């Protein structure tokens, strides 16, 4: 049995001190939003409790689906590398960026330099990448990209989508349980300025080539949607809250999921265990659900 932990949107707090020049453009609106509201939503102590609970569960691998950073300050990438390294080695933690990680021009390069060990495939390929761990294949897809102020949309893009189908077919032929990681949810009730703009194209790739599981973050909610797969199959798309979300705010309190994966093609077993933090600061099991088998 392979146990995969999934967390997302840690939004490392507090914000580093920024210079006047660093706050030019979109970063200024993000900084103001942080001071007004987001600094109350994301608590580093909450995140530390979630990470400690993940360590206690002794998973085989950890998937992080984006948004370590907040407004793309250079210091956030150094601090993000330290946090990722503490979470686990590049071999044991797979990361894909979110919209806050690719906040303004130059952020993609800073992310690649700082976090590259955690977001490249077995053959050192970039997005979409594949990592084979036991009977599981982790497929990293990037939907993060620079957008205008007040926009938080994501886009996979034609280049990634063109490669993704062939990659999914290859991993199916290897008889692996395929887990696709993406930051923006393929199904969302969020306003249009926060959605995955090519969600229909992404879902069409899944419908044609299949996957066993899609993991995402971004909406800061516990989410489960079923996507169409080949031959009438259904593919679960699961989202988690922000791993640093303070209980009692306007989104779900911090949590993460464990997936216990066993079996073989045509007879996969996958149990999802959701764990989250309560008002008392304790992390406990919230839900247990059999996705397969």
Asked whether the predicted pLDDT for residue 249 surpasses 90, the reply is no
Asked whether the predicted pLDDT for residue 195 surpasses 90, the reply is yes
Asked whether the predicted pLDDT for residue 271 surpasses 90, the reply is yes
Instruction: Tokens for 252, please give them.
Output: 């779900």
Q: Which residues contact 73 (CB under 8 A, 6 or more apart)?
A: 15, 16, 18, 22, 27
Determine the 3-state secondary structure of 169 from DSSP. Answer: helix
State residue 250's pLDDT score.
75
Asked whether the predicted pLDDT for residue 175 surpasses 80, the reply is yes
Element (H, E) at 101: none
Please give the tally of structural domains in the chain.
Answer: 1
Asked whether the predicted pLDDT for residue 60 surpasses 90, the reply is yes
**Which residue range(s) make up the domain with 115?**
2-292
% of the chain residues with pLDDT over 70: 100
Question: What global pTM score does this model have?
Answer: 0.97
Mean pLDDT for 231-252 is 94
pLDDT confidence tier of residue 234, bands split at 50, 70 and 90: very high
Distances (CA, A) of 155 to 98, 176, 186, 207, 226: 10, 26, 10, 18, 20
Asked whether the predicted pLDDT for residue 196 surpasses 80, the reply is yes
% of the chain residues with pLDDT over 90: 97
Task: Please state, rounded to an integer, the average pLDDT across all residues of the chain.
Answer: 96
Inter-residue contact 242 to 221 (CB < 8 Å): no
Mean pLDDT for 111-120 is 97
Q: What CA–CA distance (Å, rounded) separates 92 from 209?
A: 27
Q: At what angle do helices 158-173 and 199-209 cross, to 10 degrees?
A: 20
Asked whether the predicted pLDDT for residue 293 surpasses 80, the reply is no
Mean pLDDT for 158-186 is 98
Mean pLDDT for 63-76 is 98
Q: Domain containing 7 — which CATH number?
A: 3.60.21.10
Determine the 3-state secondary structure of 203 from DSSP. Answer: helix
- Asked if residue 128 has a cis previous peptide bond (ω within 30° of 0), the answer is yes
> What pLDDT, in 10s, does the model give residues 120-155?
999 999 999 999 999 999 999 999 999 999 999 999
The CA radius of gyration of the chain, in Å to the nearest whole number, is 18
State residue 24's pLDDT score.
87
State residue 292's pLDDT score.
84
């Amino acid at each position: 049995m392979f146990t995969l932990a999934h967390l997302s949107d840690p939004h490392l707090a507090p914000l580093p001190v920024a210079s006047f020049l660093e706050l030019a453009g979109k970063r200024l609106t993000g900084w103001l939003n942080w001071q007004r509201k987001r600094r109350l939503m994301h608590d580093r102590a909450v995140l530390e409790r979630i990470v400690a609970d993940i360590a206690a569960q002794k998973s085989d691998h950890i998937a992080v689906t984006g948004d370590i950073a907040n407004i793309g300050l250079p210091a956030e990438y150094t601090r993000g590398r330290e946090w990722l390294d503490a979470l686990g080695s590049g071999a044991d933690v797979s990361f894909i960026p979110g919209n806050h990680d690719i906040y303004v021009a130059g952020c993609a390069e800073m992310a690649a330099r700082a976090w590259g060990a955690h977001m490249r495939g077995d053959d050192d390929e970039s997005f979409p990448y594949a990592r084979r761990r036991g009977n599981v294949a982790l497929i990293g897809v990037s939907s993060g990209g620079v957008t205008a102020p007040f926009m938080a949309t994501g886009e996979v893009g034609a280049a990634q989508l063109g490669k993704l189908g062939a990659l999914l077919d290859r991993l199916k032929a290897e008889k692996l349980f395929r887990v696709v990681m993406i930051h923006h949810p393929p199904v969302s009730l969020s306003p249009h300025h926060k959605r995955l703009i090519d969600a229909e194209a992404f879902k069409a790739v899944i419908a044609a080539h299949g996957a066993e599981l899609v993991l995402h973050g971004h909406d800061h909610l516990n989410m489960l949607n079923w996507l169409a797969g080949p031959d009438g199959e259904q593919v679960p798309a699961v989202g988690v809250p922000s791993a640093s979300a303070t209980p009692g705010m306007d989104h779900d309190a911090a949590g993460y999921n464990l997936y216990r994966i066993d079996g073989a093609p045509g007879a996969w077993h996958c149990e999802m265990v959701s764990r989250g933090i309560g008002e008392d600061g304790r992390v406990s099991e919230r839900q247990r659900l059999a996705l397969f088998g």
